[in-house]
Each structure stands twice: as C-alpha cells, then as structure tokens.
Amino acid sequence: MNIYKNSMQLPETVRQVCVIQIWSSQFPHLFFSSIFVGDLYRAQNESASPDDAARAGSWALFCGAVVGVAISFVVPWIQRTFVNRRSGSIPANVTLAALWTVSQLVSAVVMFLTGCVNLLHDCDIH
C-alpha cells in the first residue's frame, strides 16, 4: 500500500503523467515496434532468418532505451537552463509537463507515419 500512498502525494502534473502512461501501456509499443523493425529488416534482406529479424528488432529497442535514458538526463537539464535564463527567444515557462506533451505529439505523428513506410519501400531511393 506504500505505492498507493506515495502516488497520492505526487505533484499533480507528475500524477497525471503516471496515469496517462499506465493507461496507454508501454507493452504494445515495445512488442509491436520490435516486430515492425524485424519485418522491415526481413523485407530488405530476403535471406535473413527470423532470428536475425528478432535480433534487429531487439537492437532497435536497445538503441531506443539508450536514447530514452540519455533524454531523461538531458531534458531536465535543458528545462532548468531555460527556466534560469530570463532573456532570449525561448520562454522561461517551459515545464517538464510541456516537454512531455510535445514528445507525445511527436511520437503520435511518427507512429502515424509508419504507415508510409510501405509507400517508401516501393520507391527506389538509393
């Protein structure tokens, strides 16, 4: 019950982010992105085995995790820098919640654009 008690003591924005993350569930994102990358790998390499495709998907998820960890350290630093700077073109009211919202919008746009991969695959862009 400590988790529930502590979650009720979180700041309002952090609690809202946690609720959204719980409801959106990260498992489908992780599972299907691995399958998606594996399918792209096999489409480009017809001789690739299913194991090779699984390795490619796992490598993509690992790279995504490394970027996620790096971003989790960089974004708060960027946010503190913008808040501490009183002049310039960047507004001083950039919050972590606002940055998180923007990242969710970018993620949604990128997810919708994955449908265009088949269109690009048919083109010969080398």
Confidence class for position 110, pLDDT limits 50, 70, 90: confident
Q: Among residues of the chain, what percentage have pLDDT more than 90? A: 1
pLDDT one-digit tens code per residue, 53-101: 889 988 988 888 888 888 888 877 776 676 655 555 556 566 767 777 8
CA distances from 5 to 10, 25, 49, 71 (A): 9, 22, 49, 29
d(CA 106, CA 33): 16
Give mean pLDDT, residues 95-111. Answer: 80
Confidence class for position 126, pLDDT limits 50, 70, 90: very low
pLDDT of residue 116: 76
